[in-house]
Amino acid sequence: MTAQAKEPRSAPPKELPAETTQARRFGKTRTAQSTALLEDYVELIADLLATHGEARPTDVARRLGVSHATAIKTIARLKREGLATSKPYRGVFLTQEGHDLASRVRARHRLVVDILLALGVPREAAESDAEGIEHHVSDLTLAAFAQFLQNR
């Protein structure tokens, strides 16, 4: 028996949500996917700057598991978005807006990790899963996570 066959089948919904509600939900997901990449880059660049004093595109590429060309392309997008600057032979630096975004992303990441740990998820799985969840969770849900952790 396959793993898929072992899972109980859920019944289709009796009624779909309103079109505008469903479109808003899917739109939110697409937007989160679009910004997740930039958020991962600024968070990593901030970490590299804090720990090594520099963030070279080569280091960014290796740590994100992407090609050097992909890192260069995304760093160019960060610069167009006003989140980063670069200097020849000196690597990438974040603008104040980039630093602010990195701080917000890091805080969301920590909160998601903390809630997963509170649920009993092992640390490595919590850290890994938080990398995806942190980009898709609403501020309302994050506030509920924080309240839950505070009340336990």
CATH, residue 129: 1.10.10.10
Span 114-131, mean pLDDT?
A: 96
Report yes or no on 66 lying in a domain: yes
Distances (CA, A) of 144 to 105, 114, 115: 17, 13, 10
Query: Could you tell me the two tokens for 58?
Result: 């080569």
* Residue 152 neighbours by CB under 8 Å, 6+ apart: 118
In a domain, 142, yes or no: yes
Per-residue pLDDT at 75: 96
Q: How many CA atoms lie within 13 A of 55 on its CB side?
A: 24
- 63-91 as b/e, with b when 16 or more CB fall inside 10 Å? eeebeeeebbebbeebeeeebbebeeeeb
Single out the residue of 106, 126, 128 nearest to residue 115, CA to CA.
126
Phi/psi at 99 (5° precision): -65, -40
> Sorting pLDDT into bands at 50, 70 and 90, what band is 127?
very high
Flag whether 21 is in a domain: no
Q: What is the pTM of this model?
A: 0.77
When divided into structural domains, the chain yields a total of 1
For residue 22, tell me if it sits in a domain.
Answer: no
Domain of residue 69, residue span = 32-151
Query: What's the mean per-residue pLDDT of the chain?
Result: 88
- pLDDT tens profile 16-75: 778 787 777 666 666 656 688 999 999 999 999 999 999 999 999 999 999 999 999 999
User: Does residue 117 belong to any structural domain of this protein?
Assistant: yes
Residue 67 lies in a domain: yes
Reply yes or no on whether the pLDDT at 111 is more than 80: yes
